[in-house]
Amino acid sequence: MSLFTRSHQQSGTTGSGAEPDADTGTTVPDGDTDAAERGGSDTAPAGADAEADAAEPDSDTGTASPAGDADAAEPDHGTDTAESAGASGAAAKPGWFGWRRRYPRAARGVSVGTTVLAGVLVVVALLLPNRIERIEFASFLRIPAEGVLLAGLLLALPPRPRRIMAAVSGVFLGLVTVLKCVDMGFYQVLARPFDLVLDWILIENATDFLRETFGRTGQVLAVIGVIVLLVAVLVLTTLAVVRLTNLMVRHRPVAARTTLILGTAWITCMTLGVQVGTVPIATKGNAEFLGNRVDQVRAGLKDARVFQKQAAVDAFAKTPPDQLLTGLRGKDVLFTFIESYGRVAIDDPAMAKQTDAVLKEGTGRLKAAGFESRSGWLQSPVTGAGSWLAHSTFLSGLWIKNQQRYRSLTTSDRMTLTKYFGKTGAWRTVGVVPGVRRAWPEGKYFGLDHIYDSEHLGYHGPYFSWTPVPDQFSMEAFQRLEHGRKDREPIMAEIILASSHNPWSPIAHMIDWDDLGDGSVFHRIKKEGTNPTEVWKDPEKVRAEYRKAIEYSIRSLTEWVERYGDDDTVLVFLGDHQPVPTVTAGDTGKDVPVTIVAHDKKVLDRVADWGWTDGLKPAPDAPRWGMDRFRDRFMTAYGPQG
C-alpha cells in the first residue's frame, strides 16, 4: 500500500500536478486552479486512468478538462473520494451522442457563442429600464452595482452554496426583468408602474379586453404567449447566471481582477458623476427599483386604513331626504361619462382645431334650442384606463385611485350621488351602461332602480372593436326606454358612452336619428371604417381616430339634447380619464372637461360662483377640482342653501 501511495505521489508530481491552462492549453500549477479546494487529499481513486478517457473539450477553449460540471474540480469536502470512486470508468460521452468529440471546432464555437449570449442576457436584464422611453443605447453602457456585488459574492462562496446562489439569483433576476416589462405596459396604458398589491385584478380585465377586441382565439393565443414568454425569461436568466458563474470559477484570477476593476470604476464614476449624455455610468437602478417596490407595497397595505377613515366622513349623511337636491326637483338629471374624453382632445395642437369646431357648433346649436352651458376641469384619479375608478370617485366623493379602494367602497354603505337622488324619492334612477356585457354585482351599490346593459338596449348591429353599442344608438335607446315614456316621474340617469373607448377603430359616424332602427344599419358603417391593425402601426393615425371618436360622442350627446331635451332637462357630462400615452404623447396630466347644460336659467345661476366658462369648452384657466370634490359641491349648490 505504501509503495502504491509513493508511486502515485510521484506520478502526481509530474502528471496530475499540473493541468492545461484554460486560455493557452499550457500547464499551470495546481495552486492556480480550484483543485486546491479538494481538501488537500493526495490519494487518487482506483480507476483514475479511466477518467482520462472521459475528458471533453473545455467549454471555452476546446482543450481537455475533466468531465462533469464546472465545479467538478472542487467537490465538497469529505465526499470527493467517494464520488470519484463511483465515477471510475463510468463517464458519459461528451456532448450529445459524442458530437463534441467528433466536432471540437464547432463545439468550441457553440460554447463561446452561448457564453456570449448568456453574458448579453444578464447585462440587459441588469440594465433594462422599466419604461420604454428610457431605453437607449447608453442605458446598456452603465456599470450595475448589483452585478459587481453579485460577482464578488459568487467568487467568495464555497462550491455548493455558490451553485445554489447562482440559481436563485438567476430566477430573481428573471422575475425583476418580468416586472420591468409589466411596468412598461402599465406606463404605456396607465402612465404608472404596476402595483404589486392592488393591480392583480387588472390582469383579468386585460384578458377580457383581449377577448372582446380580438375574439376568444386572440385571447387564448395572447395568454399562452405571455405564459411561454414568462417561463422562457425565468429559465434563460437562470441558465445564463449559472453558466457565467461556472466561467468565473474556471478563470478565478481573471474574474476576481475584473470584478475589482469594475467595482473601482463604479465608485469612481459615482463619485465624479460621470455620464454618457444624460445617462450616468454608475448605476444602482435595480436596488432603487426594488426599494420603490417595497415602499409601494407598504403604502398599499397602509392605504386600506387611511381610506376607511376617509369614507366614514360624509357631510350629507344626516341630511333629511326632503332637504336633499331641492334645487333640481322636477328636473330630469343626466350624468353622462364620455369614455377617454381628456384635456388632450381640447389642448393638443393636432386636435384642438377640429375639437374646438365641434364644441363651438354644439354650443351654438344648443343655444338656438334654448339651452345654456358652463364648463370647467376635473382631475381624474386615473389616466389611460380604469373608468370604473373615475366613475366611483365622481359619484362617491372619495378618491378611488385603486382596486382595493373600489372594492372597499362597493361593499360599504357609503352614499353616492345616485343614491342620494334615490333617497329623496323624487326621481326614478336608471343606468345606461352599454360597456357592461356580463354580471355586474357592483351595480347594486350605486342604488339604481334599473340598469340597461348591452343586452337590453335593443341593439342588433355589430361591435365596433371593443364598443358593443354606438353612442348615438345608446342615447336613442334611452329615449325609447325611459325618457320618451308618457306619464313618467322625473329621471336621474347615469349614462356611459363607450364609442370613444380604446382602440378607436373602427368608429361609427352620425346618421339620421330616424334611420337608427334596431342598429342593423351599423353593419354597413363598420365596413366603411378603419382597420385597427393598420391604425395602430402609426401613432398619428391613432391620435386622428381618437379625435374622431371624441367628436362622435360629443355630437351624439348634444344632438340628443337638441332633439329630445326640454325645459326640465339638466345634463352633466364629463370625461372619465385621459387616453393612453400614445395619444397624449407622454403627457401624464389627468384633467378632463366637465360641462353642465340646462334649459332653465335658474339651474345655472346656482353654480354662477363656480367660475366656469360659458359654453361646452372650458377655458385653459377655468377652475380645476379633484373629481372627488364634485359630489359635495354639486349637492351644496342644489340644496336648500344653494
pLDDT tens per residue, range 27-62: 334 444 343 333 343 333 333 333 333 333 443 433
Strands 282-283 and 143-144: parallel
State the Cα angle at 568 between 398 and 478, rounded to 5°. Answer: 70
Residues 50 and 636: their CA atoms lie apart, in Å, by 93
pLDDT band at residue 271 using 50, 70 and 90 as cut-offs: very high
- pLDDT for residue 568 is more than 70: yes
Burial group, residue 68, by CB count within 10 angstroms (0-12, 13-18, 19+): middle
CB 504 within 8 A of CB 545: yes
pLDDT tens per residue, range 345-379: 999 999 999 999 999 999 999 999 999 999 999 99
In 10 A of CB 144, how many CB atoms? 21
Contact partners, residue 44, CB within 8 Å, separation at least 6: 8, 12, 16, 84
Cross-strand partners of 429: 492
- pLDDT for residue 10 is more than 60: no
Residues 307 and 326: their CA atoms lie apart, in Å, by 30
pLDDT of residue 94: 58
The predicted model gives 219-236 an average pLDDT of 92
pLDDT of residue 602: 96
- pLDDT for residue 3 is more than 90: no
E strand intervals along 30-157: 56-57, 64-65, 143-144
pTM of the shown model: 0.73
3-state class of 134 per DSSP? Answer: helix
pLDDT of residue 70: 39
Burial group, residue 21, by CB count within 10 angstroms (0-12, 13-18, 19+): middle
Q: What is the mean pLDDT of the chain?
A: 85
3-state class of 599 per DSSP? Answer: coil
Q: Transcribe 503-517 into DSSP letters.
A: T--S------GGG-T
Choose among 394, 402, 433: nearest CA to 198. Answer: 402
The predicted model gives 112-137 an average pLDDT of 92
Residues 11 and 378: their CA atoms lie apart, in Å, by 87
